[in-house]
Structure 1
Amino acid sequence: MKPLNPGDPRQVGPHRIIAELGEGGMGRVVLGLAPDGRLVAVKQIHAEFAHDPGFRERFRREVTASRLVSGAYTAAVMDADPEAESPWLASVFVTGPDLRAAVDATGPLPAEAVRRLASGLASALTDIHRAGLIHRDLKPSNVILAGDGLRVIDFGIARAVEEAQELTHTGAIIGSPAFMSPEQAGGGRVTTATDMFSLGSILVMASTGRGPFSGASAPQTLYDVVHTDPDLSAVPPEIRRLAEPCLAKDPARRPTPEQLLDFLGPVPSETAPWPDAVHARIRQQEAEVRSVLSLPIPAWRPPAKPLPEKKSRAGLRIVTALVAVAALIGTLVVVIQAITSPRDPGTAAMPVAEALTLDRLRRVDACTVLDGRYTEDLGTLEPDSNPISPDRCTFENSSGLRFDLRLGEPVVNGGIGTTNRTAEGLPLLRASFSGGCHSLIPVTGTPALYVMLYNDTSVGDECAVADSALTVVLARLRTHEVDRQDEPAGVLPLDPCALPDAAVVTKTMTDVRAVTAGLRNCRWSKDDERLEVKVQRSLYVDDGAPVDLGNGVVGHVTDDSESSCRLSWPHRTLPDGDAEYVSVWLHGYSGGRACERVRAITDSVLNRLPKR
């Protein structure tokens, strides 16, 4: 994953681009954020294909077919635009290394992991072939090893690329020679059996580190694929029984994906399906993604609309007159509404799923969300002038309504139930606390955290009022009117999980991953050991032993023992007397000298904070 260059586009269609993932023969792949908040891998087609009208038609046809593919072992296609200047396709982003990178970095997979790989690949091909597609370029770099299994990518697109190159590059052969079928290498008829030959080659590579045909050059490899037997000498017997039938030269003698699944039988499910070293690389990539998402993300802009066709002069004069009349009527309507209506929640600037991401919520001033008059049943609401947390605010009106708004918090007591109500198109949930009524909706991508509206009064229909208030909250969060006016030196917008250096954390606690425990609270846990990093805003109390952290920063240590230590320090003092401050707390630590480890983690955090 690489940062974008200064001249790179920051939006492709409706997807905001935040990093580069790689580049291949077909095009460039970038990491994007979809309008609904999901991460997507966006592939932009190279210009040499984009300028071929025939390619666009084939690409359009293949995209339509690809949308039919869905399953647990494929990365679904979410969006595409074959008509764009640079045609593009967006699919669900899957965190994890591809099989080629994983084997190169950590070595061949053990036999049980290769069996799981075979089952996943056969299941993926079942879904792809059922949609009427042939992958045609199934290879290790198109197989992603995710934390919960595998995903096959780039299905249904290779056919469009192959046809384009056949038309534009005489004699060109598309695909990876070491993982092609004999009929592909020899220019014969390609069927679904082609993908099964590639599957067999992948199993050999996964278990030995090299493919069954490894000539000194591409032409030699292609010759071996067509004319020589595969090299299976280093393949474990239990894997050879799976791979060898797939590598038959005659397509009719190869098993189908369904037959391979029957032969494999049930494969036990595992919470960690791959070797530990592979899961370590998955966690590393997850940390890289969190780090990228913690940086400022470009504002979403609606995709440009195509220019209208030219009209005759007479038609243009009529349209101009009609527009002028409509503008006058519109102006009158706006004036009348401004005089007679409650204040509008604001003009929506982003999709609701994007408004509910952690990155977005960290930039919201909670006390501006319901400040004012918005609906008949809420009246004029006044915020608490001294909230105890930047993520919370209490609002009241003269009729006795009192709301407690909380952004990005877990439900720590009571259960969560469903309702038959929606807000901004999303289903509302209900938290079962005693007294009042509490409406909530999950944070995008972090279902353990919620935007919550607590109504602890008995004015009117408690739940109806709570749901109405949360509906207004969601509409307001979609606008930039609720953005906190922080200085560049502020730490409140930062992701606490991205603040410590991962290598420093690993020296303290091995084999752990960061878990977002709150909007500004990150946690690493292993057995009874726990590390927490928090970013806070409130009155800073300098109790505990002072510690000079350098550059004029003085922190304070509390809870000091061999197994526990908490170090807090003010980042900057605010005009109202409160402060933004950070705390690092390690407790239940079995390694002894907890404060030494906390100090090392603190130093790595300080290096990543903005200058005051």
Structure 2
Amino acid sequence: MKSLTPQDPRSLGSNRMIAVIGRGGMGRVLLGRTPTGRLVAVKQIHAHLAGDPSFRARFSQEVESSRQVTGAYTAAVLDSDIVPESPWLATEYIDGPDLETVVKECGPLHLGGLRLLAAGLASALVEIHRAGLVHRDLKPGNVLLTPEGPRVIDFGIARAQDGAAQLTATGAVVGSPAYMSPEQAEGRPLTPASDVFSVGAMLTMAATGASPFPGSSTPQILYNLMHTPPNTEGVPEPLRGLVDACLSQNPEQRPTAEDLLTAAARIPAEPAWPATAKSRIAAHRADSDWWVQTSERELRNREQLENLTIRRRALLKRIAFAAVLVLLMGAAIVAVSRWATMSGHAQPQADPSLTLTPMELQMLDACKVLDLTIPKLGTRTADLNKTGDGCGTQITDAGNRKVRMDLSTIASVSETEKYSKPIGAAVAWTPILGDKITGRMCKRSIITQSGGPSVLTLSTDVTDGDGCPLAQQGLTAIVQQLTRYVPLLPLPRNSILRVPPCSLLDERLAQSISGDPARREETSSYCVVDGSDAYLSVNLEEAMRPDKDSLNSTVQTGQFTSYIRNVWLKSPGKSCEIGYMARPTTGDNAELVTVHVDNWSPATDSCDKVKTVLADLIPRLPKS
């Protein structure tokens, strides 16, 4: 997704726009929110196209067709307006990537994923055909994947089953060549069997990564579609017979949607997405959540600014009125000076609340935060140094003391609450917690509550004197900075630092290793499962490449090469830590996934547990 531009509408109907999902030659699709808080995908047609009567009629037909389909495997229409200069249609927002993207980034689906896909598409066709429609544009880009199954969208060229095939004014067939049926390519009347053919083509692509009718140009694809048999050699055998039946040149020999649903249920595999696809779906949802939460924060900030502007204007009016009265009384200068020295007028809110989202905490640029706030505390005398849990540097404070300062963003909430207590001060409506280590070393923390508890901690180490006043002053400045602007790391979409750590853990596997009952805790970069048998943690960070550290040695975790830290083998069988290099970044750094186990049970080896977790976890990571 991308931010709204000045040309994008801020609202359509009663729906408030949040972000841009995508743009194309026909219009744009925006992420919006209804007054009740429900997310919607809003398709808005370009004004110059809406001026074409035939195009506007086609869009009206899409709205009407979409309203007739209400099944669980399609996107329901929630609102629309076909009258304005730029007509729009709001449907239920399906929070998932499209099939084409998932196959491209994660590879072909396994048999269980194909069964789930086939059953979901068949269920969607049952509802579409029951409404008397033929979709006519089923393709991977119009199928979105959710944890529960696929969802079919975009009824832009859907028609009634008894309607004739539609051509454009130039005679070009409307549809997607690689996935349309032969009868659609030839411009013949269409039946529900045409959609079944498209499903067969999509299942082939999902199983092999390629269309059953490949070609380098549209004419070549159409020729292969009508004159060559489909290439389904890579489709798994339990599904291949069904796919071949769907791709029959004769519409009457294809299964119905009901037949397809029955056959899909007999495929001998558990209907579930592969781990890599699940990870991609989770990453898509995390991205959507970030946009929604960021939009809400920006809206609150904008409303605060608007209210401040209103109050300022009202104040100026009162000042002007008072000045006139005072002038009439012959005491203008005295009156104006009294107004100028009054406090609380036309000032920004002194202590706005802190509303960091989970995604903002995970992607927070701690070094940038320090860089923005250090000028209020002293002079920086060393480079900003990114650390595993935040950022640190050295400064000289106003008292000419040398100070080591570290900002941490991943401290444990439970540990912070256990060892730090409220000191009687607050910032951004949040109590400040204190943890005085020695006279010169001090910690000050706050626990953010928006989007789930998380901890921000500033530690100071001064050359002499008490470091706590500076720690409190610094943390206050940092939090006040974050209420106005949250600097984020420019992470690529395939960065593991965008992924919630606990989403990578299989719950049943984690419980089998840690034992029951188990306490689970998640911060912006690590997930902990602490049970009766073992302590298990998964940490995501950017750090020195493990192959550059002499303390590490290679070890195989499944089919992947990882690095075991020999320092953790001092207690063989009890403690083990293994890291996997997910993505090299810059210099000698890389993004790492590190799994650590402290084993309470002597019956099993801790490194065996770590290897099991890593082998299961690595396929869920974003693909580079």
- Per the shorter chain, which TM-score range? 0.5 to 0.7
Structure 1 unmatched runs, 5+: 300-358, 365-484, 509-521, 559-564, 599-612
Counterpart check, 1:493 vs 2:355:
yes
Cα distance in 1, alignment partners of residues 97 and 46 from structure 2? 24
- For 2:227, the aligned partner's letter is H
- For 2:444, the aligned partner's letter is G
- Counterpart of 2:217 in structure 1 is 217
Cα distance in 1, alignment partners of residues 11 and 164 from structure 2? 27
- For 1:279, the aligned partner's letter is K
Shift of 1:122: 0.4
Cα distance in 2, alignment partners of residues 4 and 362 from structure 1? 15
- For 1:555, the aligned partner's letter is R
After TM superposition, the structure 1 stretch with the greater mean CA deviation from structure 2, 223-232 or 19-28, is 19-28
- Counterpart of 1:285 in structure 2 is 284
- Counterpart of 2:193 in structure 1 is 193
Q: Of residues 419, 432, 437 in structure 2, which corresponds to 1:540?
A: 432
Cα distance in 1, alignment partners of residues 109 and 198 from structure 2? 18
- Counterpart of 2:13 in structure 1 is 13
> Percent identical across equivalent pairs?
46
The answer on whether the counterparts of 2:427 and 2:476 sit within 8 Å (CA) in structure 1 is no
- Counterpart of 2:603 in structure 1 is none
Where do 1:1-400 residues align within 5 Å?
1-155=1-155, 157-159=157-159, 169-265=169-265, 273-297=272-296
- For 2:152, the aligned partner's letter is V
After TM superposition, the structure 1 stretch with the greater mean CA deviation from structure 2, 180-189 or 537-546, is 537-546
- For 2:116, the aligned partner's letter is R
Change (3 A) 1:169 1:99: same
- Residues 500-534 of structure 1 show CA distances to partners (whole Å, capped at 9, x for unaligned) of 22999xx99xxxxxxxxxxxxx9999xx99999x9
Change (3 A) 1:261 1:200: same
Shift of 1:68: 2.2
Change (3 A) 1:531 1:75: farther
Change (3 A) 1:538 1:65: closer
The answer on whether the counterparts of 1:139 and 1:198 sit within 8 Å (CA) in structure 2 is yes
After TM superposition, the structure 1 stretch with the greater mean CA deviation from structure 2, 259-268 or 45-54, is 259-268
- For 1:146, the aligned partner's letter is T
- Residues 369-392 of structure 1 show CA distances to partners (whole Å, capped at 9, x for unaligned) of xxxxxxxxxxxxxxxxxxxxxxxx
- Counterpart of 2:457 in structure 1 is 568
Change (3 A) 1:568 1:139: same
- For 1:545, the aligned partner's letter is I
Cα distance in 1, alignment partners of residues 173 and 364 from structure 2? 43
The answer on whether the counterparts of 1:362 and 1:492 sit within 8 Å (CA) in structure 2 is no
Shift of 1:276: 1.3
Cα distance in 1, alignment partners of residues 27 and 96 from structure 2? 20
Cα distance in 1, alignment partners of residues 254 and 138 from structure 2? 16
SS of match in other structure, 2:273: coil
Change (3 A) 1:596 1:276: closer
The answer on whether the counterparts of 2:94 and 2:146 sit within 8 Å (CA) in structure 1 is yes
- For 1:540, the aligned partner's letter is I
The answer on whether the counterparts of 1:287 and 1:498 sit within 8 Å (CA) in structure 2 is no
Change (3 A) 1:19 1:174: same
The answer on whether the counterparts of 2:196 and 2:256 sit within 8 Å (CA) in structure 1 is yes
Cα distance in 2, alignment partners of residues 298 and 499 from structure 1? 14
Cα distance in 2, alignment partners of residues 40 and 28 from structure 1? 13
Shift of 1:285: 1.7
Shift of 1:52: 2.1
Cα distance in 2, alignment partners of residues 51 and 118 from structure 1? 39
Change (3 A) 1:65 1:215: closer
- Residues 216-269 of structure 1 show CA distances to partners (whole Å, capped at 9, x for unaligned) of 211010011111110112222112112111111111111110011122336799
- For 1:206, the aligned partner's letter is A
Cα distance in 1, alignment partners of residues 179 and 72 from structure 2? 23
Change (3 A) 1:238 1:24: farther
Shift of 1:196: 0.4
The answer on whether the counterparts of 1:523 and 1:531 sit within 8 Å (CA) in structure 2 is no
Cα distance in 1, alignment partners of residues 238 and 417 from structure 2? 43
- For 1:501, the aligned partner's letter is M
Change (3 A) 1:501 1:141: same
Shift of 1:573: 4.8
- Counterpart of 1:450 in structure 2 is none
The answer on whether the counterparts of 1:55 and 1:164 sit within 8 Å (CA) in structure 2 is no
RMSD: 4.8
The answer on whether the counterparts of 2:111 and 2:269 sit within 8 Å (CA) in structure 1 is no
Shift of 1:193: 1.0
SS of match in other structure, 1:67: helix
Change (3 A) 1:18 1:523: farther
Change (3 A) 1:557 1:20: closer
Which structure has greater helix proportion? Answer: 2
- For 1:120, the aligned partner's letter is G
TM-score w.r.t. length of structure 2: 0.53
- Residues 422-456 of structure 1 show CA distances to partners (whole Å, capped at 9, x for unaligned) of xxxxxxxxxxxxxxxxxxxxxxxxxxxxxxxxxxx
SS of match in other structure, 1:194: helix
Shift of 1:113: 1.0
- Residues 520-568 of structure 1 show CA distances to partners (whole Å, capped at 9, x for unaligned) of xx9999xx99999x9973442423438999xxx963599xxxxxx9763
SS of match in other structure, 1:72: coil
Cα distance in 2, alignment partners of residues 84 and 18 from structure 1? 21
Cα distance in 2, alignment partners of residues 282 and 88 from structure 1? 27
SS of match in other structure, 2:133: coil
Change (3 A) 1:209 1:541: closer
Change (3 A) 1:541 1:224: closer
Shift of 1:24: 3.4
SS of match in other structure, 1:170: coil
Change (3 A) 1:268 1:228: closer
The answer on whether the counterparts of 2:108 and 2:207 sit within 8 Å (CA) in structure 1 is yes
Cα distance in 2, alignment partners of residues 69 and 235 from structure 1? 30
- Residues 160-202 of structure 1 show CA distances to partners (whole Å, capped at 9, x for unaligned) of 9xx9996763112222111010011111111111100000000
- Counterpart of 1:308 in structure 2 is none
Change (3 A) 1:274 1:10: same
The answer on whether the counterparts of 2:80 and 2:89 sit within 8 Å (CA) in structure 1 is yes
Cα distance in 2, alignment partners of residues 200 and 288 from structure 1? 31
- For 1:111, the aligned partner's letter is L
SS of match in other structure, 2:434: coil
Change (3 A) 1:169 1:555: farther
Where do 1:547-562 residues align within 5 Å?
555=444
After TM superposition, the structure 1 stretch with the greater mean CA deviation from structure 2, 231-240 or 96-105, is 231-240
Change (3 A) 1:263 1:502: farther
Change (3 A) 1:71 1:360: farther
- Residues 258-309 of structure 1 show CA distances to partners (whole Å, capped at 9, x for unaligned) of 0111223367997x9211111111221222122212224599xxxxxxxxxx
Shift of 1:12: 2.0
Change (3 A) 1:202 1:584: closer
Change (3 A) 1:246 1:555: same
The answer on whether the counterparts of 2:432 and 2:446 sit within 8 Å (CA) in structure 1 is no
Shift of 1:155: 2.7
The answer on whether the counterparts of 1:530 and 1:588 sit within 8 Å (CA) in structure 2 is no
- For 1:498, the aligned partner's letter is E
Structure 2 unmatched runs, 5+: 305-346, 367-387, 390-408, 419-425, 448-453, 459-471, 487-521, 544-624
- For 1:543, the aligned partner's letter is D
Cα distance in 2, alignment partners of residues 103 and 173 from structure 1? 27
